[in-house]
Amino acid sequence: MKLLIVGGVAGGATAAARARRLDERAEIVLFERGEHISFANCGLPYYIGGVIEKRDDLLVTTAKALGDRYHVDIRVFTEVMSIDPNNKRVEARNLLTKKTYHESYDKLILAPGAEPLRPPLDGIELDTVLHLRNIPDSERIKSYVDRMKPEKAVVVGGGYIGLEMADNLVKRGVKTVILEMLDQVMAPLDYEMAALAHAHIKENGVVLELENGAKGFKKQGKGTVVSTKKGKDIECDLVILSIGVRPENKLASEAGLEIGERGGIKVDAAMRTSNPDIFAVGDAVEVRDFVTGHPTMTALAGPANKQGRIAADNAMGRKSLFKGTLGTSIVKIFDMTAASTGASEKLLKKYNMPYQVSYTHSGSHASYYPGAQIMAVKLIFSPGNGKILGAQIVGGDGVDKRIDVMATAIRGGMTVYDLEELELAYAPPFSSAKDPVNIAGFVAANILKGDVENVYWNELNRADNRESIFIDLRNKDELEESGTIPGALHVPLNDLRDKLESLDKERAYIPFCAVGQRAYIGHRILSQKGFKSRNLSGGYRTYLGAKEKIMKESSATKLWLSE
Ligand X SMILES: Cc1cc2nc3c(=O)[nH]c(=O)nc-3n(C[C@H](O)[C@H](O)[C@H](O)COP(=O)(O)OP(=O)(O)OC[C@H]3O[C@@H](n4cnc5c(N)ncnc54)[C@H](O)[C@@H]3O)c2cc1C
Q: Which is nearer to ligand X, 131 or 547 (CB)?
A: 131
Binding of ligand X at residue 131 (CB under 6 A)? no
**How far is the first Cα of the chain from the last one, in angstroms, to the nearest whole number?**
73
Distance CA 448, CA 223 (A): 57
Do 170 and 336 contact (CB within 8 A), yes or no?
A: no
Should residue 10 be labelled a site residue for ligand X when binding is judged by CB under 6 A?
yes
CA distance 266 to 260: 6
Cβ pair 315, 3 in contact under 8 A: yes
Q: Is 244 in the site for ligand X (CB under 6 A)?
A: no
Is there binding between residue 247 and ligand X (CB under 6 A)?
no
Q: Is 428 in the site for ligand X (CB under 6 A)?
A: no
Query: What DSSP assignment string belongs to 32-43?
Result: -SSS-SSB-GGG
In the bound complex, what is the minimum distance in angstroms from residue 112's beta carbon to ligand X?
A: 3
Backbone angles phi, psi at 325, to 5 degrees: -115, 145
Segment contacting ligand X by CB under 6 A, of 32-40, 202-210, 368-376, 490-498: 32-40
Contact 298, 306 (CB under 8 A): no
**DSSP codes of every residue in 291-353:** TT-SEE----HHHHHHHHHHHHHHHTT-------B---EEEEETTEEEEEEE--HHHHHHTT-
Instruction: Select from 5, 18, 19, 34 the one that contacts ligand X (CB under 6 A).
Output: 34
> Is 264 an interacting residue with respect to ligand X (CB under 6 A)?
no
Among 4, 5, 9, 407, binds ligand X (CB under 6 A): 9
Q: Which stretch binds ligand X (CB under 6 A): 4-12, 346-354, 417-425, 431-439?
A: 4-12
* Residue closer to ligand X (CB basis): 238 or 300: 300
Count, residues near ligand X per rule CB under 6 A: 32
289 binds ligand X (CB under 6 A): no
Closest CA relative to residue 163, chosen from 174, 176, 152: 176
Which one among 5, 45, 311, 535 touches ligand X, defined by CB under 6 A? Answer: 45
**What single-letter amino acid sits at 488?**
A
Residue 286 sits in the site that holds ligand X (CB under 6 A): no
Task: Mark residues 314-353: x for contact with ligand X by CB under 6 A, - for none.
Answer: ----------------------------------------
Does 403 engage in binding with ligand X (CB under 6 A)?
no
Single out the residue of 3, 5, 41, 48 in contact with ligand X (rule: CB under 6 A).
41
Given its phi and psi angles, is residue 38 left (phi above 0), alpha (psi -120 to 50 degrees) or beta?
left
Calpha distance 555→486 (Å, rounded): 13
DSSP label at residue 428: T
CA neighbor of 159 nearest in space, from 244, 250, 69: 244
E strand segments, 95-232: 100-104, 107-110, 114-116, 129-130, 152-156, 175-179, 207-209, 214-220, 223-228
Write the binding mask 65 to 104 for ligand X: x where contact by CB under 6 A, - elsewhere: --------------xx------------------------
At residue 154, what are phi and psi to the nearest 5 degrees?
-115, 125
Query: Looking at the DSSP assignment, which residues form a beta bridge with residue 241?
Result: 156
Query: Which lies closer to ligand X via its Cβ, residue 248 or residue 472?
Result: 248
- How far apart CA 152 and CA 45 sit, in angstroms, is 17
The binder of ligand X chosen from 3, 29, 32, 544 (CB under 6 A)? 32
Question: Whole-angstrom Cα distance, residue 40 to residue 493?
Answer: 52
Active site residues: 42
Measured distance CA(178)–CA(240) in Å, rounded: 10
Of the candidate residues 3, 4, 5, 6, the single one contacting ligand X (CB under 6 A):
6
Run of H or E residues at 551: helix 539-556
Nearer to ligand X, 31 or 509 (CB): 31
| Contact string (CB under 6 A) for ligand X, positions 185-204, x = contact | --------------------
Q: Which stretch binds ligand X (CB under 6 A): 28-36, 49-57, 141-149, 519-527?
A: 28-36
Residue 2: count of CB within 10 angstroms of its CB: 14
Cα angle at 480 between 474 and 485, to 5 degrees?
65
Nearest-CB residue for ligand X? 282
* Residue 171 vs 532, nearer CB to ligand X: 171
Taking the least distance from each CB to ligand X, the nearer of 235 and 404 is 404
CB atoms within 10 A of CB 386: 22
Query: Does 550 help bind ligand X (rule: CB under 6 A)?
Result: no
39: β partners: 59
Say whether residue 29 binds ligand X (CB under 6 A): no
Single residue of 237, 248, 286, 289 touching ligand X by CB under 6 A: 248
Q: Binding pattern to ligand X, positions 133-172, x when CB under 6 A?
A: x---------------------------x-----------
Residue closer to ligand X, measured from CB, 9 or 452: 9
**Local structure of residue 264 (DSSP, 8 states):** P
Candidates 49, 67, 85, 112; binder of ligand X (CB under 6 A) is 112
SS3 label, residue 513: coil
Regarding 109 and contact with ligand X (CB under 6 A), the answer is no
CB nearer to ligand X: give 139 or 183. 139
Candidate list 190, 209, 283, 313; residue touching ligand X; CB under 6 A? 283
Instruction: For ligand X, give the closer residue by CB, 115 or 418.
Output: 115
Instruction: Point out which residues bind ligand X (CB under 6 A).
Output: 6-7, 9-12, 31-34, 41-42, 44-45, 79-80, 111-113, 132-133, 161, 248, 251, 282-284, 299-302, 304
